[in-house]
Structures are given as C-alpha cells and as structure tokens.
Structure 1
Amino acid sequence: MTQPIRVIVIDDSAFMRKVIGDLLEQDSAIQVVAKGRNGSEAIELIRKWSPDVVTLDVEMPVMNGLEALEKIMKETPLPVVMLSSLTQQGTNETIRALEMGAVDFVPKPSGAISLDLHRVETELIEKVKAAARIKISRLLRTPPSAAGKRSLSYTSVNNKTTDEVWRGKMPVGEMRKGKIENVVAVGTSTGGPKALQVFLKGLPQDFNGSLVIVQHMPPGFTKSLAQRLNSLCQIEVSEAEDNQTLQSGHAYIAPGNYHMEVKQRADGELYISLNQEQPRGGHRPSVDRLFESLSHIRHPAKYAIIMTGMGSDGTAGLKKLKETGVRTVIAEDESTCVVFGMPRAAIQAGTVDIVAPLHEISAQLMRCLHC
C-alpha cells in the first residue's frame, strides 16, 4: 500500500487550520500530521515530523511566511505550498515566496479568514500532491547567470541541422521596416515565476522584439509578478492591457483570468486582445490560445518558448505555429524544470527545435534572432 503524503498545515487562525486540514484529508492520499500557528512553530514541527509537504500562510505573527520559508529552505528544505490573501501585500509576498523556493501557492478566496475555502479545495489538493512529487534539489538550485556565456549547450531535435535551427525559415529581407521585427511567445506554469526571472534577466535592454507571456496565475498575482520582474530586468515588463500596441523591448504578461491573444491591425501593427471566453484545458489564460493567435500572423518573425509547468498546455498551439511558419521553438530541459510536464508534452509531439537548460534559454534566443 502506498504511504500517504504527510502534510503540516501552518496558519495563524485556528479556524483556517481546521478547514485546511479537513479539506486535505478528504483525499485518502493525504494525511495531516501536525498543525501550527506561526512560522516559529512550523520550524519546530518540521524538525519533529519530517513531513513531505508544508502548507504555509503568508501573513502570520511572530514569524511570517517569508521568514519561515527562508529558514525552511536553509535548514530543512522541503516542498512548500503558500496560502495567500488577495491583498496587495499578500500578492507581492507570494511572488517573493515563489522566488525563494516555494513550489506553488493557493489564493484564499475571501481574505485571511476564508469561510469559502472549499471553492479552492480541488486546487489545494492537486497542488499538495504535485508538490510531494517534486525533487527539492530543483527548487534550491540557483542557475548560473546567462550573462557572459560563450558556449551554449542545447539539443537540436526534429533532425534539423544547427544552421536550420538558428536561421529559421523567413529570409531577413521579408521583414517589414519600421515594425517589430520579432515576436516571442512564452508559456509556463508551476515554477514559472522563478524561471521567467532567470530568462528575462538574460535579455538586453535593447532587445529587438516583443515578448508575450502566459503564466498560469489567478487575478492580482500577475500584476505583482510583472511589477517584480520589471524591477529586476533590463527590458520593460508589464501586465498586458486590452488593445495595447506591442512595443519592441517590452514583455507583456497575460492578466489572471483572461485569455491573451495577439492580433494585427490593417497597418500591420500588432496589438493585444484580452477576453474571458471559456477556460481551455482548465486554464485562463491559456498558452494554447496565445500560441494559436500568433499562427494567424505571417509577419514579423515568430518564436516560441515553453518552460516548466504541469500538464500539456501549449502543445496544441505549437502545432498550429509549426504549420504557419514559426522560426524556432525552444523548450526548457528537464534538468532545470520544477515540473517537466509542458516541455515534455511539446517535445514528444515533435514541435520543439531546441531543448536547453533554463539559464541558457535567453542566450539561445538571442543567437536565433541574430542569425
């Protein structure tokens, strides 16, 4: 018989500790072995019980979630799922927690005391189960900087030669002067905030193209993510707005709960279109919807990147892009993925040209753009 996933629940509210524990134990594969009311108790309970996963509230007295997470990752590293309120402080601190090594997070629907926590029951259980399967070494590893790299390690797939992979299909002469020369679509999920930080920090301020990004995240958190990335990167990063014209040297992150598509005006300008149509494969925003929207656009040159995440979102969209002339598709290598679901699905479907570790994806992209 398979051993249950042993979980410790940490929350400063006795009511929330009971609700979270009861929800988790509705799944026979999960056993809540202990509960604590602050970060200090979390450290003691982890030492005593050696759990498989910890759920950790962000906002707590004595020792808050970020302080506890830092100590956990330093002293007794293990998978942590954060529970966060939708306040500005809560969303900002959650983004920081993901940078520090938390596997994922679940938003409390109505604040610190959420009487309606049952609304996220399925999400909470799924994320705790996923966390238990993750190799902790991948959360702790800090990829080397992409800056200054001279040698690139990658795998060329689909039997393409090096020149074919980097040069792509569209002659440079076909690009329209005065318009964006390159558009890069990026899809990611679990582990994505940290991966996006590494990737985007590797791009120069004068990056010759526009990036459109889908990161699976609920409303509120995508804005905090964009603001955090903008403070760290040389390029401009913002949460996307409807009808916004794409600019070179700028990255746009799809807002939570909205599909993001790229469309083209009569004069050739590219712009963002947001909608709240039905979720695709359980996701809104959907990577597939973003990639498929680009399949209808011939110019400028198109590139796609698929990084860490559960499931297969993005693969169907990459198939469409392959049919309509994407220059290069890059997938994150398993060695650096927190979860190798989305890249694996894309690779197995034959839609990927280059497989590279996270810290080399930006350098791979720059080489593609300059060929």
Structure 2
Amino acid sequence: MNTPVEIPAIKLTAFSHGGGCGCKIAPAVLAEILRNSQGTLIPEQLLVGIETSDDAAVYQLNDTQALIATTDFFMPIVDDPFDFGRIAATNAISDIYAMGGKPIMALALVAMPVNKLPTEIIGKIIQGGEAACREAGIPIAGGHTIDSVEPIYGLVVMGLVHPDRVKKNTGAKPGDQLILGKPLGVGVYSAALKKGQLDAQGYAQFVALTTQLNKPGIALAELAGVHALTDVTGFGLGGHALELARAGKATVVIDWTRVPLLPNVEAMIGAGTVTGASGRNWLSYGHEIRLSPTLGQVQQDLLTDPQTSGGLLVACAPEAVDEVLAIFAAGGFASAAVIGEVQAGAAQLLVR
C-alpha cells in the first residue's frame, strides 16, 4: 500500500498561485515585455549578459577570474517549509554550476505574509536555504526581507570561474552529443503533490532530485570537449534545448526513448496530472518544435514540463561523452544519459 505524504498543519502551497519554476512568466510573454527594452551599458568585461538568455551574468575581474552573478526565487512548491527553502536555494545555486563556476557567496531574498505565517515556519524556510548553502560550501552573507501577500524565497548567488572556462549556452556544434543530468517530471510530481496524489516514496524522490546540487558543472568546465552548457528549469527541456539551438544556430535532435523520466510520470499525465505552465510553454515555443507523429500529448507535456532545480544539459564532442558521463556518475547522477545530438541546419528542435 502506498504511504500518503504527511500533510503539515499549514500548507504553504495554499498561499501561492503557482509553485517553483512553474511560476516563471511564459517565454512569449517575457519576450513581449522585453521587446522595447533599450538595454544598458555593456562594458567589454561583461562576458555574458542577456543576449542569449543564458543562466547567469559573467563579468571578468582579471586574467584568471570572472565573477558569475545570478538570482532566482519563487513561491512554495512543497508544504514542508524546510524542504521549500532547500529546493529554492538549490535551484538558485544551480545557475553558477551551469556556467561552469564555483559558488562563493549568497544573499537571501525573503518575502513573507508575516501576518499569516508563524515566525517559526518562516524560520524553517530560511534554515532550509542555509542547509543547501552549507552543502554547496558557501555562506549566506546577507539579504533582504519584505512583507508580502505570497511567500517567496530565493537567493542571489555569486561564483567564480576562469574566463577561459566559462560555459555558455552558445557553442553547440553539429556532431555534438546532448546529455541530460537529471530525469524529467518535477512539474508533474508537484502537480500531483498539490492534488494529494503523490505518495511518500514519490515525495522523497521529488525532494532528493530537486535538492541535488549540480556540482558536476565545475568539472565539466574543465573539459575542452564540452561546447555548451545550461540547466533545465521553468521553460522545460524543450525551451532550454531550443535556447541551445538558437544560440548555436543549429538543429537540436532529441531521441525521446533515451530521455530519463521520473517513475510513473507518463501515467500521471495520462490521468490528467499536468501543470498549467506546460501548456503555456508549448504555446510560447511549440512552433519551433517538430514532434514526431509517433509521440503524443503525454510526451509533449513532459517536453514542456517546468523543472524546478532540474538537470544540466550538456552539448559535447562525441569523444568527450564517456568522460562527461563519468563526471555525472561520480557526482551521484545515476540517471544522466545521452538524449540526442546537434545537427547542421536551422535553429529548431526535432523530437523523434
């Protein structure tokens, strides 16, 4: 018999209109918001800015150091406050690893309905974030707090990387193999949790996956054969694979049979458990995807499923595949797998 998840007295998810990276503004809406943006001064030291929707900004400090800066925050994706804090912090730190860097410091972003949430609940959220930062080996050196209608938690994170080892989402080359570090299905699990349909085992898998730091990014930055790197988050595998395709001006091909999935996610979607963000993602970029007729709505929903604290997505030379997979395995990423390749052609995504 499946053991149900213990429901806390105060359900954090009841305070939020959307959880985790499913809170992200849809890609098409975001593009429209930024359409008339004039941008700002771009100094030559700014190695990575907003041009290709990369994971973080990178500013060169000297010949051997570049500063990586990022921020990420969202509303509760789980009801346990400590787990929420851990997941949100892990997700924010991931952007440093996705650029090939080592995190050095974080600042906390805390917005809470202080007249509705007990202070001990808010304290546990912050403690969860601290636990994730301790695992990453960094301090939370400050932050900012406000009173808010919905609970929001996240981090500003800074890291360091050698300027020659910055891994962008640009650079994918025809012939490159595509490797995904974590299985898909986090959005589906979060929707099931909110409906009370995720058992204790599924919840444990969910938390273990979303609190696993993407530390392999540091070692991957050392490999010349790694040409492009990003992480899969709120725009789903489809959206972030398209970013690689657009930035590299190439066609990304995904072999769906090789994509790792969380247990039972296809059955969950078949039973009607899917996030609203999945549909919004497809409406935003589905016109750039060619989905094989052998694949259906379930696979489309998983392709666009928003991943909170998802896996690294790597484009590497064929001769680097074994080393990349070995780095993932050494870091405890047992599901890491080659899921496709990069081909010459128009910037698009083919899923077969």
Structure with bigger RCO (C-alpha 8 Å, 6+ apart): 2
- What is the TM-score normalised by the length of structure 2? 0.29
> Which of the two has higher C-alpha Rg?
1
